[in-house]
Amino acid sequence: MSKNPVDALFDAATDLAGAAKLYLHSEEGKRLRRKVATILIVGAPIISELPVIRRSRAARILRTAAVGTIIIKGAEWLRDWEPERASPVVEANPGRRAGA
């Protein structure tokens, strides 16, 4: 009995997603993720400055949302930041007293 084409497509997509997850967890996948992230981090500001993107209303809304996201992420980072406790001050001459 053959499968319904929709079920077969769903099964194939599920298998593909599983294989992609396995690959992305491997060392080679980790290198690929790092490269893609670098390209996106460097490329996003360049692409957003293209005239065709700047004229688009959707792109302007997206840029506004991106700035808001950056501000929120910065505020979350600041809120969650735990500064390391400063090490105690060590005196240069521990045997000598102040005012002596």
pLDDT of residue 12: 93
Q: Is residue 33 part of a domain?
A: yes
Residues in CB range of 54: below 8 A, 6 or more apart: 48, 60
Question: Quick one: 32 and 61 in the same domain?
Answer: no
Question: Quick one: 53 and 34 in the same domain?
Answer: no
Q: Is residue 94 part of a domain?
A: no
Q: Is residue 72 part of a domain?
A: yes
Per-residue pLDDT reduced to its tens digit, 9-58:
999 999 999 999 999 889 999 999 999 989 988 888 888 788 887 888 88
Whether the predicted pLDDT of 4 surpasses 80: yes
Q: Which domain holds residue 36?
A: 1-42
Angle (deg, nearest 10), helices 27-48 and 57-80: 120
Whether the predicted pLDDT of 77 surpasses 80: yes
Backbone dihedral region for residue 46 (phi beyond 0: left; psi -120 to 50: alpha; all else: beta): alpha
Among 27-31, 63-67, 81-85, 92-96, whose mean pLDDT is lowest?
Answer: 92-96
Question: Quick one: 26 and 55 in the same domain?
Answer: no
Number of domain units in the chain: 2
pLDDT of residue 28: 94
Quote the CA–CA distance of 17 and 87 in Å, as a whole number: 49
Question: Quick one: 7 and 22 in the same domain?
Answer: yes
